[in-house]
Homo-oligomer: A and B are copies of this chain.
Amino acid sequence: MSGYAELSREELEALHGELLGRYEAFKAKGLRLDMSRGKPAADQFDLVSGLLDTVTSQSSTRAEDGADCRNYGDFDGIPECKKIFCDMLGVAPEELFVCGNSSLSVMYDAIGKMMLLGVRPGAKPWRYLDKVKFLCPAPGYDRHFAITELYGIEMIPIEMTPDGPDMDTVERLVGSDPSIKGIWCVPKYSNPQGITYSDETVRRFARMKTAADDFMIMWDNAYAVHDLYPDRRDTLLNILDECKKAGDPDRVMIFASTSKISYAGAGIAVFACSEAVMKRMKELLSFQTIGFDKLNMLRHARYFEDLDGVMRHMDKQAELLRPKFAAVLDAFDRELAGKGIAEWLAPNGGYFISLDVMDGCAGRVVRLCKEAGVVLTGAGATYPYKKDPRDRNIRVAPTYPTVPELEQAVELLCISVQLAAVEKLLAA
């Protein structure tokens, strides 16, 4: 079939009637599906149920270093748990801190500390500045943008390329404007596009000149081990190493968690950074807590044993997720390819598929789906201030529904994408 743009008015009208018929038939089914968030499904959790048996009344509650995990102590985490994350992120034990169950919480807190107290050595807290700005590669993670907006930090969207954020623009902006204090990054299997930053992109982040001497790269490595295909694993250059080589190791904080490895509600989060930034973070954290949940660290460390254990588990998880991603991508290929009305990438990992529909149509597509019973992430959510300048990006979260549910939901989505495109062309 040729592109929609080449169709005559009559052809478009016929197509509109046909699509509307399919849409109404769908609506009549009374489907009820929520695909708005990147939520794991229960079968993923079932894979790690043994984790819950690693610390019971019959087992020791002592960490490798002898610390009783039931009591205060081991402020930065128990050694065996730190080891797994150090290996995952390529950092040293003194560069890593194990926190509670939410990396979002750790990032929120880190930004709060930069605002109120200053995190980089010698940094003036941002609360004393007239203007603070952040770069926001977009489409990106809505919750990152929400935090910066909450704190009154001005957000500047940066376009994404297949190699990561548009680094020419990033370098130009951070090099000239000292009020630009940081950037949000999901460098591997980015949310929502599934893009992994190229080596060159990572090196440019490490080397770029920043007008602000307290610039901070918020490196949210949420999907560090979330490969979908054992034979096609994206690799991400070690940003902390590159920053060390470039002479400014203090410019990055790395975040990760097991929310999408073990449990979304009861996992473990970590951050990593240079020793100088860690010294300051530990000093500040010592005001805030006597320590995080070490029994849960112990469960994770005993169950996974090491990074290999994590990788073996993630390969099993990928078996559950591959058919879900395939269901979405197959439908896109079948229904949307070659029509000039939508673009997407097939990611090698992560939690999302990003769909770009015709300009000005994303809001309409999301509404059409909602009216027929499928809730998608709100249109615009993937952009700062929820404003997608071209109103075209839709984030698809395929992990939570079952494959049959997904097949139905994606069929509806594809019908809606086509319907919105035809409506637009007819109105032109």
Contacts and interface: CB of A to CB of B under 8 A. Distances in A.
Interface stretch (A109-117, A243-251, A311-319): A109-117
Nearest to A41: B71
Contacts of A127: 115-116, 127
A263 to B, nearest CB: 4
A287 B146 contact: yes
A39 interface: yes
B104 A101 contact: no
Interface in A260-288: 263-266, 284, 287-288
Interface residues of A, number: 52
Nearest to A37: B72
Identical subunits present: 2
| Centre residue among A45, A101, A151 by max chain B CB count within 10 A | A101
Contacts of A117: 150-151
Contacts of A238: none
A293 to B, nearest CB: 5
B56 A68 contact: no
Contacts of A49: 57
A289 interface: yes
A69 interface: yes
Contacts of A56: 52-53, 56
A40 interface: yes
Contacts of A102: 288-292
A300 to B, nearest CB: 12
The 9 A-B pairs with the shortest beta carbon distances in the complex, nearest first, are A266-B295, A49-B57, A108-B288, A45-B70, A70-B263, A127-B127, A105-B289, A101-B293, A102-B289
30 contacts: A42-B70, A42-B71, A45-B70, A49-B57, A50-B57, A52-B55, A52-B56, A52-B57, A52-B59, A56-B56, A69-B265, A69-B266, A70-B264, A70-B265, A72-B264, A100-B100, A100-B101, A100-B292, A100-B293, A101-B293, A102-B289, A102-B292, A104-B289, A104-B290, A105-B288, A109-B109, A150-B284, A265-B293, A266-B295, A296-B296
